[in-house]
A and B are shown apart, each in its own frame.
Chain A
Amino acid sequence: MTLGAFVRKNRPHWQRLETMLGFIETRGPRKTDRPFLRELSSLYRATTGDLAFAQTHFRGTTLLLFLHQLVTRAHNQIYRPHRFSSQLAGRFFLNEIPQAVRGHLQAVAWSAIIFLMGIALGLSAVQFDERAASIILPSSVLNSIYSGQMWTGSIFSVVPAPVASTFLFTSNISVALLAFAGGLSFGLITTWILFQNGFMLGVAFKLCADYGLLGAMLGFIAAHGLLEISAIIIAGAGGFVVANALLNPGSLSRSDAMAQQGRSAVRMAVACIPALVTAGCIEAFISPSHVPVWFKVVLGLTLGISFWFYLLLTGKATSGRDGSPLPSH
């Protein structure tokens, strides 16, 4: 068969397929009915047949490119992954995230250790030389501590809570996601972020203790601190999972190891988002307010413990797909 005859014979059903694809691509598969889908699948099969024929007989032609494109588009629609559904989202948060965290407890431990090392070094740095605090804390914070005042009072009295909470959770989520992405730098950026945040906390603690503000500081962070720190540690652990895949790929190639481990790592990074939004709101609305300290402590402990309870003890029973991605087909 010549190219001309081949095109003359089959062009109508290629164009029909193209029209149908245009419809399903813009309107979505829900708008289609059974005869439509039946026709789509038979046209798809016919066109893959035409593609095979063209690959044998018409190498190097534009027609072949067109048929490739048409089959790719149809394949994309026929094998498209599940769209967003509440069921999938529920399984993602209730099963897959806790399973991903439980599968990488070692990374979580490393992440926590580096954060704690940051705190320890921050404490001892200020112990050794008080001026060390100026490396990491802004001078406005330092000045207010030196004058025996919590810096939070001046900030939260100027900035309204909705603005502050938005600022806090967006910047905290950015830090956490960066800690995850930092895994691709062999964990260097992740380590730096965890260490830096721990160091800042350690410095602030020691300085507050030295200037008689320890109670005020503890009272301020009681409600949100545990949840916020836990979330950063989990995101950092996600980064370490990727870094570990890059550094110790085992019998896989580095990119294969990274692709395999990245799926659970990104789940750990996503886990921190709702936690940090919650922590940001509490930090802006409740922490600076005058609610009794015992309430803040109870709230902070409850949130922190339930976050870890969720990650470590829930979401066990699934259909044996632990650690595997959302079904992609």
Chain B
Amino acid sequence: MTTPTSSWDANRTELELPEEIDLSVELANVGSRTLAILVDIGLGGLVLFIVYALMLLLAHDVTDDWLTRLSSNSLKTLLFLLIFGFQWCYFNIFEWFWNGQTPGKRLLHLRVIKADGSPVSGIDVLLRNLSRPIDTLGPMGLIGLLMIFINRKAQRLGDLMARTIVIHETQIDWSIFDEVAGPAEAPHLMTPVMPSIRLTSAQWELLHRYLNRREQFEAAARSHLAVTIVNALKPTAQGTDLALSPLAPEDWLVELARRT
């Protein structure tokens, strides 16, 4: 394992793995981090509200003023514990047991990891969350926001102390690499020797991404995109019969995919 300091000192947002691979990760931006916090706070508030509402329903005399109803002892104790639990335990417990995620972070595909790429330990979680009163909660949140803006790795004070970063996880969707089925009317175009067309990796990916996702587009956008992509990829087919092919844009792309 690389020592924490090595990647800390390095002027990159890339992580070094023991397998001699540089892993680059996408840091979570300030917007999604704020949104995640708001989701978490909203969730805490919702739980408090539900408990409060349930207790109101259980109260004997609904015409009493709210203070009298609140004075039900078990309710008081429960509310103290819930507020305390939300303030000091919620983030710690979730981030510890969900490997750096809270419900809000999970919703927005964020995760807390160590700056060297390893998962967070209990101490790291404590360090970054016990410091929340200073840089996240209430008006102090401005300090955290400012830190996330100016820090190269978007670390607030608690992150610096725990040496953690918050990353945005890419959602993996292998289906964009699916083989493209040839169209039924294609066979009459077949030439005895079908020269293979070389695409760059980015072009190949663009082509397959479009072809595998085209069903999800609206008709107008779908044909418009097809024309744009055909124009971008036309030069690659130069010198083959495909360059002069009369096929409609989308079928042309399918045919191109078949020949690469």
Contact = CB atoms under 8 A, between A and B. Distances in A.
B162 A259 contact: yes
Q: Is the interface of B mostly helix, strand, loop or mixed?
A: helix
A266 B1 contact: no
B210 interface: no
B229 interface: no
B8 interface: yes
B202 interface: yes
A55 B24 CA distance: 11
Interface of A: 2-4, 7-8, 11, 14-15, 18, 25, 45, 48, 51-52, 55, 57-58, 60-63, 65-66, 68-73, 75-76, 79-82, 84, 160, 162-163, 166-167, 170, 173-174, 177-178, 180-182, 184-185, 189, 242, 255-256, 258-259, 262-263, 266-267, 269-270, 325-329
A174 B169 CA distance: 33
Contacts of A269: 130
Interface in B122-162: 122-124, 126-127, 130-135, 157-158, 160-162
A84 B98 CA distance: 12
B201 interface: yes
B137 to A, nearest CB: 10
A328 B118 contact: yes
- Is the contact region of chain A dominated by helix, strand, or loop, or is it mixed? helix
Contacts of A11: 174, 177
B16 to A, nearest CB: 11
Closest 6 CB pairs of A and B: A3-B201, A170-B84, A81-B121, A262-B161, A328-B121, A69-B170
Contacts of B118: 75-76, 79, 81, 328-329
Given A69-B170, A80-B99, A170 B80 contact: yes
B77 interface: yes
Contact of A4 (B123, B161, B162, B260): B260
B134 A259 contact: no
Contact of A63 (B114, B119, B177): B177
A269 B126 CA distance: 10
B22 A55 contact: yes
A326 B162 CA distance: 13
Nearest to B167: A72
Nearest to A52: B21
Given A14-B174, A61-B205, A266-B123, A259 B77 contact: no
28 contacts: A4-B204, A4-B208, A7-B177, A11-B174, A18-B174, A25-B99, A48-B19, A51-B21, A52-B21, A62-B205, A69-B170, A76-B99, A79-B118, A80-B119, A81-B118, A81-B121, A163-B73, A167-B80, A170-B84, A178-B133, A181-B132, A184-B161, A255-B160, A258-B160, A259-B160, A259-B161, A259-B162, A262-B127
Residue of B84, B96, B123 contacting most chain A CB atoms (<10 Å): B123
Nearest to B114: A328
Interface string B77-98: 1001101100110000000100
Contact of B126 (A68, A178, A266): A266
Nearest to A3: B201
* Centre residue among A76, A162, A174 by max chain B CB count within 10 A: A76
B121 A325 contact: yes
A68 B170 contact: yes
B23 A72 contact: yes
A174 B174 contact: no
Interface in B12-26: 17, 19-25
Contacts of B133: 177-178, 181
Given A69-B170, A162-B73, A177-B130, A184 B162 contact: no
